[in-house]
């Protein structure tokens, strides 16, 4: 077994390490490894006889600048390597480190298990094991830049970043992958079989979606928040002839309008202030050959609508700052949670764009209109959580399902799953009853479940109180609707239904 020696000196003097090396050399001791830091020196040497080792220590102590010398279990770099590797191993997503020549230097535990099936691929070329990564990706890849793209598994966004030394020398690349576990299983992209339903209307919608998956025409998905529009879009993509190509999702309400075009179309070097100095490919270019899902298309600005319409009409894009047209081959799927026809009347949405994006229409029912799906949705969700996260086998009583069916679910399936998550988190055993469901829907402080009102009356009273309180906090009904994450027209109907007057909140 080798011996690691740590030396601390009182000064950081040039050539001080040489004095220690000379002592080792004079005793014919091989230096297996040496690390020099500010006022700290590490030596790795073979294990020595006690007498020889003590003699060397005596001579070390004769050096005037020596402050302390000790045997340590690890060299500094070895300790750092262990800290870094164990830290990376606990990150629940694949991380790979490769050298400048693109050979694998390190894979964290997650990458080894999920991507390489436990095999040791150290020293192999990365593109021999990952089809989406090729030598071309690293061409003209300059200091400080990074590459982002969606992998063939659709649910992963891969980022490649340079690792640079203090003097900006390239020492390797870090590859990380972001995975959306709440939507997909890494090894099985979502299919129509994952769209759980026993409702006849919903079955008809799924059948229609299957037909739409076999065409490249633009498709508009209409449905409330949380109805599963992106799940439909992913299923359509994965059942199409483009299933082996990228699927990329864009939320039109999350990206500021001034950045939307640069994200969508990309830009040339120095074309935008604060952008990548090497320029950047846009989402449409990265997704070429695949499917682009544009969520909440109703939130797109008029200027961006004009640019998008041009792309749909011509099939070409131009990066910002460039006159060169790039041909793209993309299936577009759009979604809206609002009445676009009403936006057209208010001149907030172009009618020509609406006709272009709605070649095909798919109306996804609200959960309140398919309550016979609540039980199968919950059972499937609990099964998925158990298989994905190794959770306990939770079940709901019949009265718990009755409580779920009595609620109108303004947040649809997303809200349903959130309620189940809260019920599971607060349950005392593996059986979830009616009272726990009601507490998970309304909260202990907001509502007394012992009330004698009918559940429908209780829900309406509770909903009215929430609306009035939120109206008081915001200057307008439109901003209140945005805060509550509901369509403006829906909030207006609720205000009228509950007879909420201006005097109650203005």
Per residue in 342-390, pLDDT tens? 999 999 999 999 999 999 999 999 999 999 999 999 999 998 877 655 5
Decide which of 97 and 156 is more confident.
97
Sorted by sequence, the CB contacts under 8 Å of residue 146 that are 6+ apart come out as: 159, 160, 161, 162, 276
| Alpha helix ranges (H) inside 194-254 | 200-212, 229-238
pLDDT in tens, 45-60: 999 999 999 999 999 9
Residue 177 is predicted with a pLDDT of 76
Burial call 81-107: b when 16+ CB within 10 Å, e when fewer: eeeeeeebeeeebbbbbbbeebebebb
Contacts of 410 (CB under 8 A, 6+ apart): 224, 463, 486
Mean pLDDT of the 184-206 span? 81
Q: Which residues contact 13 (CB under 8 A, 6 or more apart)?
A: 65
Q: 339 or 427: which carries more pLDDT confidence?
A: 339
Report residue 260 as tokens. Answer: 């939307």
Show Cβ contacts of residue 424 under 8 Å, excluding neighbours closer than 6 positions: 382, 385, 391, 394, 432
The three-class DSSP label of residue 338 is: coil
Q: What is the pLDDT at residue 472? A: 83
Q: Is the per-residue pLDDT at 420 higher than 80?
A: yes
Higher pLDDT, 178 or 488: 488
* pLDDT reading at 66 higher than 60: yes
Cβ within 8 Å of residue 86, ≥6 positions away = none
User: To the nearest whole percent, how much of the chain has pLDDT over 70?
Assistant: 87
pLDDT score, position 220: 97
Whole-model pTM? 0.56
The mean predicted confidence, pLDDT, of the chain is: 83
State pLDDT tens for residues 250-284: 888 766 666 778 888 888 887 877 666 777 888 89
Helix, strand or coil, per DSSP, at residue 63: coil
Chain centroid to CA 318: how far? 28
Q: Using CA atoms, how far apart are residues 100 and 46, in angstroms rounded to an integer?
A: 32
- Using a 10 angstrom Cβ sphere, with 0-12 exposed, 13-18 middle and 19 or more buried, the burial of residue 471 is buried
- Tokens representing 48 are 């020595």
Of 446, 385, 445, 387, nearest to 420 (Cα)?
A: 385
**For residues 67 and 60, what is the distance between their CA atoms, to the nearest angstrom?**
10
Asked if the model's pLDDT at residue 204 lies above 90, the reply is yes
pLDDT band at 493 (very low <50, low <70, confident <90, very high): confident
Please give the pLDDT value at position 171: 84
- Over residues 279-291, the mean pLDDT reads 87
pLDDT mean over 418-430: 83
pLDDT tens-digit readout, 295-353: 999 999 898 899 999 999 999 999 988 899 999 999 999 999 999 999 999 999 999 99
Strand order in the sheet with 33-37: 33-37, 40-45, 3-9, 66-72
Is residue 88 over pLDDT 90? no
Region 404-428 average pLDDT: 88
- What burial letters (b/e) apply to 205-231, b meaning 16+ CB within 10 Å? bbeebeebbeeeebbbbbbbbbbbbbb
End-to-end CA distance of the chain: 79
Q: Which of 136-150, 191-205, 271-285, 401-415 has the lowest mean pLDDT?
A: 136-150
């Amino acid at each position: 077994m080798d011996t690691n020696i740590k030396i601390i000196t009182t000064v950081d003097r040039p050539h001080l390490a040489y004095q220690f090396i000379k002592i080792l050399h004079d005793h014919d001791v091989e230096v297996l490894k040496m690390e020099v830091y500010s006022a700290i020196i590490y030596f790795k040497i073979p294990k020595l006889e006690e007498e020889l080792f003590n003699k060397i220590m005596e001579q070390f102590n004769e050096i005037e600048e020596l402050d302390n010398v000790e045997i340590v279990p690890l060299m500094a770099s070895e300790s750092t390597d262990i800290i870094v590797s164990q830290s990376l191993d606990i990150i629940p997503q694949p991380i790979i480190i490769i050298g400048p020549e693109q050979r694998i230097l390190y894979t964290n535990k997650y990458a080894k298990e999920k991507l390489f099936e436990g095999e040791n691929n150290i020293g192999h070329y990365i593109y021999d094991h990952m089809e989406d990564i090729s030598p071309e990706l690293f061409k003209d890849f300059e200091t400080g830049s990074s590459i982002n793209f969606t992998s063939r598994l659709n649910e992963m966004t891969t980022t490649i970043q340079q690792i640079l030394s203090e003097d900006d020398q390239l020492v390797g690349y870090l590859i990380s992958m972001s995975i959306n576990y709440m939507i997909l299983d890494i090894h099985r992209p979502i299919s129509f079989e994952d769209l759980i339903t026993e409702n006849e209307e919903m079955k008809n919608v799924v059948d229609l979606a299957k037909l739409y998956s076999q065409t490249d025409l633009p498709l508009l998905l209409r449905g409330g928040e949380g109805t599963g529009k992106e799940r439909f879009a992913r299923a359509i993509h994965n059942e199409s002839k483009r299933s082996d190509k990228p699927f990329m999702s864009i939320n039109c309400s999350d990206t500021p309008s001034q950045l939307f075009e640069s994200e969508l179309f990309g830009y040339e070097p120095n074309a935008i202030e604060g952008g990548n100095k090497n320029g950047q490919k846009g989402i449409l270019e990265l997704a070429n050959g695949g499917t682009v899902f544009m969520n909440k298309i109703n939130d797109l600005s008029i200027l961006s609508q004009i640019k998008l319409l041009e792309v749909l009409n011509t099939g070409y894009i131009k990066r910002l700052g460039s006159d060169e047209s790039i041909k793209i081959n993309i299936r577009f799927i759009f979604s809206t949670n609002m009445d676009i026809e009403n936006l057209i009347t208010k001149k907030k949405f172009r009618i020509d764009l609406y006709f272009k994006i709605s070649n095909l229409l798919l109306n996804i029912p609200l959960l309140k209109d398919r309550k016979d799906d609540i039980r199968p949705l919950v059972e499937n969700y609990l099964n998925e959580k158990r298989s994905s996260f190794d959770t306990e086998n939770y079940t709901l009583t019949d009265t718990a399902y009755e409580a779920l069916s009595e609620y109108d679910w303004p947040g649809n399936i997303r809200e349903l799953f959130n309620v189940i998550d809260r019920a599971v988190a607060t349950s005392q055993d593996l059986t979830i009853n009616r009272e726990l469901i009601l507490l998970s829907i309304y909260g202990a402080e907001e509502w007394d479940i012992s009330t004698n009102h009918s559940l429908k009356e209780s829900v309406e009273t509770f909903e009215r109180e929430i609306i009035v309180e939120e109206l008081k906090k915001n200057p307008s009904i439109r901003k209140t609707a945005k805060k509550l994450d509901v369509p403006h027209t829906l909030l207006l109907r609720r205000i009228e239904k509950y007879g909420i007057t201006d005097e109650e909140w203005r």
